[in-house]
Amino acid sequence: VALSNARNEIVAIYDQALDVRSGPTACLKEIITLIRLGLRETSINPQQLVAIGMGVPGPVEYSSGLLIAPPIMPAWGGYAVRDHLVEEFGTQVFIDNEVNLMALGEMWSSEAIMNNALFVKVGTGIGSGILCNGAIYRGADGAAGDIGHVCADEHGPRCSCGNTGCLEALASGAAIAAQAQEAAAAGKSELLAQLCREKGSLTLADVGKAVKEGDQEATRIIKESGQRVGQVLAGLVNFFNPERIMIGGSITQTGYLFLAAVRHAIYNRSLPLSTRHLAIEYSQLEGQAGVSGAVILAWQELFSNPYATAHL
């Protein structure tokens, strides 16, 4: 949760882990508490709050602000998040998919010109935000950019969405952790097995740590995951011809091996004309891309609608 002033400067920011599976009521209660804390600590009168922008890790029907059948947060499906916050703060509220907001935040903070770009988040799941001609492209219903459920291997493992072989089931942070755990159990890596014994289970961060210590199996898993993501992105590069691909999410903490594998797959598989000026990089905003984008979204919406700003 971040509070911004009218000059687009973040004046308060709070980073707190939230389990979306605990449902919208419990999560929104914590979010509201943080917003109120921010208002208190910055001595901002709640009446001065003009808008709230919020990103969620699931598909959003932008016109209604509703999440539609979100795979990792089923309890939120159809829940009126916007109404809940409007009722609490009496202000304008705009809800979007979190990766769309990350793309927007990155575009506004970047010194490079970025009109056509993709922001790819690789965390627990995988998703992307599309910038087309300088604006977020949401598609007909708001589902554009959901690359985590593109089929990358027909015979691959089952995904949280019910299908098999989705990119997310093969190459996300959760998939990487699961593969590392299997490797540890199969005796393929002494280091991963040791980490697993110490902690009971493995996370993406553990795999990143093993890569930094030169573990071959962890290196193979991360490299393969980068190649999978790169293969899907290569198709998107041919189709969309972006000038920049930014990668964010917890995968960036595992180091540059993943990025190198993504780059390799894209440059190998995409057409020369579409990669001639293509930059593929890790996000420069680290954890702040989402909140920065949420602020930009709120301003854009307020100023594109004269009725919304009539009371400012």
Which residues are at the interface with Zn ion (CB under 5 A)?
149, 159, 161, 163, 166
Does residue 81 contact residue 56 with C-beta atoms inside 8 Å?
Answer: yes
Torsion-angle region of 94 (φ positive above 0: left; ψ -120 to 50: alpha; else: beta): beta
Nearest distance in Å: CB 3, Zn ion: 35
Q: Provide the 3-class DSSP secondary structure of residue 12.
A: strand
125 vs 248 by CB, closer to Zn ion? 125
d(CA 178, CA 165): 15
Strands 92-97 and 51-56: parallel
In whole angstroms, the minimum distance from the beta carbon of 99 to Zn ion comes to 15
Residue closer to Zn ion, measured from CB, 50 or 72: 72
Closest to Zn ion by CB, 80 or 161: 161
Report how far residue 98's alpha carbon sits from residue 118's, in angstroms, rounded to the nearest whole number: 13
Alpha carbons 75 and 224: distance in angstroms, whole number: 33
Min dist. Cβ of residue 262 to Zn ion (A): 20
Task: Compare residues 166 and 174 and give the one whose CB is closer to Zn ion.
Answer: 166
Describe the chain by its helix, strand, coil percentages, rounded to 5.
Answer: 50, 15, 35
Whether the Cβ atoms of residue 53 and residue 94 lie closer than 8 Å to each other? yes
Beta bridge partners of 53: 94
Is residue 191 within 8 A of residue 183, CB to CB? The reply is no
Residue with smaller CB distance to Zn ion, 163 or 309: 163
* Minimum CB–partner distance for residue 256 and Zn ion (Å): 27
Residue 158 per-residue DSSP state: B
Of residues 142 and 293, the one with the C-beta less far from Zn ion: 142
The minimum distance between CB 149 and Zn ion, in angstroms, equals 4
Q: Which is nearer to Zn ion, 1 or 169 (CB)?
A: 169
Query: In DSSP terms, which residues pair with 67 in a beta bridge?
Result: 60
DSSP-assigned beta bridge partners for residue 93: 52
Considering the complex, what minimum distance in angstroms separates the CB of residue 250 from Zn ion? 19
Give the nearest distance from C-beta 70 to Zn ion in angstroms: 12
Query: For residue 212, how many other CB atoms are within 10 A of its CB?
Result: 12
Pairing assessment for the beta strands 135-136 and 117-122 based on DSSP bridges: unpaired
